[in-house]
Amino acid sequence: MPHAATDPLKHRAWAQYLPDLHLGLQNLVQRKLRTLLTMLGMIFGVAAVVSMLSIGAGAQQQVMAFIEQLGVRNLIIEAKEAVDWQEMRERRKTTPGLTFADYRVVRANVAGIVESSPRKRFTPSKIFPKPQRDMPVVYGVTPAYLRIGGLRVVSGRFFDAEENDHAAPVVVLGEGARANLFPQAEAVGKFIKVNDQWLEVIGVVGPLVSLQQDIAGVPSQDRNNLIYTPLNGAVFRLEDTRSGLKDEIDGIYLQMEPSADTLSTADVVRSILNATHRNAGDFSVVVPAELLAEQHRTQRIFDVVMVSIASISLLVGGIGIMNIMLASILERTREIGVRRAVGARQMDIVRQFMIEAVLISFAGGMIGIGFGFGISQIIAALAGWQTIVTPVSIVLAFAVSVSVGLVFGIYPATKAARLDPVEAIRYE
């Protein structure tokens, strides 16, 4: 029974807002141009919040997808290769660079390693068929790299341990390399000529996320325009025309067991290599799990900064709402006096003007969301950036716009309610 009694009360409470809502809409429609101009601040503010957050979310998502693809359980040791002969001579006085001996020492002394692979990387001086775009990069790795790198074979197969032991003349193409060398044909079963060696294509792997800039020691590279070949084949079969400027190997991949602490393991690896390299600083240890956590922190800071900057437009829009509501009070002073004279309470006047302020911010927020979505799509199309309009950005921008309408509508509504009814009726 108590529940049934409260339902009519709730209905009457909501019903009293309907006349004010209708009156507010009528007043705003009668002054279309002024209402639209008042909305512009809210429209641009919300559009700025949505579009800026979408740009940030798109950039951060691509970076985080790249880091996740590196493997949160992985450690990557990257050689810092010399850029000229003078630097190479100075470095070779203290260290031989990254070598197979380093790989064996790390394997023997670091606990918790599940998979591992050295890497020999180089860009061929010539390749046939002639690439349609950039020259593919050759990765000499062991079969374990398939699991470490999270590669997905979409056609054919990956080379095995026996083929690596015998330096078999086989390759697996990245999706970009396949399109680069065989744009119109099936690649598996075909042959390519890398420098002076003919190699059979036995597989193709699916697309990977690539970045255009270096990230914490991981060099920028099109990870799809790669040719994977057995490590021993890369070392003994393929001629590296710039081998004089390179280390014996230029990378080591380690995949740790799930229970291993990658940060402390990375410190152990650094200590081992610093001892064997005499603190030459010719390598870096990349910890994808640490990079991922740092990117999450960076994204949160970026979102706060972007929202703060964009909210300035919303603040300006709120000031516009307050200004137009104050002007509206002067125009409608007589109307307010008549309403008070026929029995309207101060709360009724406050509610009327608050509803109008919220309607302006509500409509401006809705239009601004549409504009923000459109701007993000235009930026994505023209600049080639990835943009993502997230539900969080829409809810945040809309909530802030409505809140601004409420906050900046309080003073005009209160001022209107405090008008003396007698003086208001006599106002001309």
Task: Give the alpha-carbon dihedral of 406, 407, 413, 418, to 10 degrees.
Answer: 140
Model pLDDT for residues 7-60, shown as the tens digit of each residue: 554 555 556 666 667 666 777 777 777 778 778 878 887 888 788 778 777 777
- List pLDDT tens digits, range 102-116: 999 999 999 999 999
Which pLDDT value is given to residue 203? Answer: 95
pLDDT of residue 1: 43
Q: Are 187 and 173 in contact (CB under 8 A)?
A: yes
- State residue 43's pLDDT score: 84
- Do 194 and 124 contact (CB within 8 A), yes or no? yes
3 state SS of 200: strand
Yes or no: say if 255 and 115 are a contact pair by the CB < 8 Å rule. yes
What pLDDT is stored for residue 303 in this prediction?
73
pLDDT-derived band at 169, boundaries 50, 70, 90? very high
CB 405 within 8 A of CB 318: yes
pLDDT digits (tens, 9 = 90+) for 215-224: 655 666 788 8
CB-count burial class (<10 Å; 0-12, 13-18, 19+) for 130: exposed
Asked whether the beta carbons of 353 and 27 are under 8 A apart, the reply is no
Phi/psi at 42 (nearest 5 deg)?
-70, -40
Give me the pLDDT at residue 215, please: 61
What single DSSP character describes residue 150?
A: T
Whose tokens are 């949505």? That residue is 50
Q: What is the pLDDT of residue 241?
A: 47
Cβ(247)–Cβ(97) below 8 Å:
yes
- The model's pTM: 0.68
What local confidence, expressed as pLDDT, does residue 185 receive?
81
Neighbours of 270 (CB within 10 A): 14
**Contact present, 413 and 350 (Cβ < 8 Å):** yes
Tell whether the model's pLDDT for residue 174 goes beyond 90: yes
The pLDDT of residue 189: 92
